[in-house]
Structure 1
Amino acid sequence: MRVAVTVDDREPAGLVEAVRSHADVSAVAVDRLAAGDLVIGSVAVERKTPRDYVNGVMGRAGPDLHDQLERLAASYDHPYVLLEGDFTDLDTMRTSIDPAAIRGSMASITARQAVPVIPCTDRRRLVDFAIRLGRKHAEEPSRRPLPVGSVPSRREPTTKQMYGCIEGIGPELAATLYEAYPTVAELVEASVSDLERIDGIGETRARAIHTAFHDSGQY
């Protein structure tokens, strides 16, 4: 499935070219958007560098991120914030703000404003992930039945459900993983060796989990 993408005309030319060069993009329009930086159907993406994110969420410089997200959520069915840059940049930036507080703000926005904040390591991966989001929201859900008990119940927290969808991770291990890493942001920081320390997770499963959240080709 290919999708049409609208890019805000204030975004850099490099972003427009990255969108145009994606194999799953059928058309690209560059226009002034009232909210968001990339729009694909009902999906809107606010693109932030780690520094832009910190400045916006802490109200230090530039637009207030919370105000931006309120407009985004009011205008589109599926709003997202994608961070363009290495996630470890949050720990190395010269700022007086505790990196843990920054990660906490990401979890807070995801949980309380219902706008997922997702780190993407570079522009290519950000564009690829945004387009995959657009496709997934537009496509009909797969009709292939899943084995009973293959993923956690819909009554479980969304994060635990996500963990249960990783190849080789069923409900029990998803619960164990959720206890160790209750937010995706925390799991993204974990190394393969960190994951291997969890009961029931060996090297193969640890690598599968790590790949699922660091390889854009997985979803």
Structure 2
Amino acid sequence: MSKRQSSKYKLDRRMGENIWGRPKSPVNKREYGPGQHGQRRKSKMSDFGIQLRAKQKLKGYYGDVTEKQFRGYYKEASRLKGDTSQNLIGLLERRLDMMVYRAKWAPTIFAARQLVSHNHIRVNGVKCNIASRRIDVGDVIELRKKAKEMALVMEAQTLAEREVPEYVAVSEDGKAEYVRVPTLDEVPYPVVMEPNLVVEFYSR
């Protein structure tokens, strides 16, 4: 299992955006980048730099996804029929940890990954601790009875900063069904994501 070695909010400051829409983000107080040169005037970015930034932002949003995994998602998206950028978003949203996050069972994507890895989630009635497990349309995930009483889960359900999207149907008995693969417009990103630039980056 991959583990994020650096502070997750460092990514927020490097991008100059509150990527996860969290009230704790340092960007809310300091919009400039980290380090002693963070307040310098930014120079014009090259096309490569813009594409790289878009890739870092999208990859960072999904938590501890490794570069190898992310490139693998791109390659698979390019093989599927239709728009590659839309396919890429669809594949990323089908991860089990993202499904847990979208169901509002965890306050952050990192907490969602931890819930999965600690065996608190079942997929179609079977225990699963693989965060990258792909969820298919019609699959039902559920919280274990013990997990429903966790402070982390109860806190997440009261968060006003985000809502459960329409492509995830959550019931009151602690179950969530994956209704359909979403399009880019349906995914509730707090900031603008540009998967088309990510496709350009990898297809160079």
TM-score between both structures, scaled by the size of structure 2: 0.26
Higher strand share: 1
Q: Which has the higher helix share?
A: 1
Q: Scaled by the length of structure 1, what TM-score is found? A: 0.25
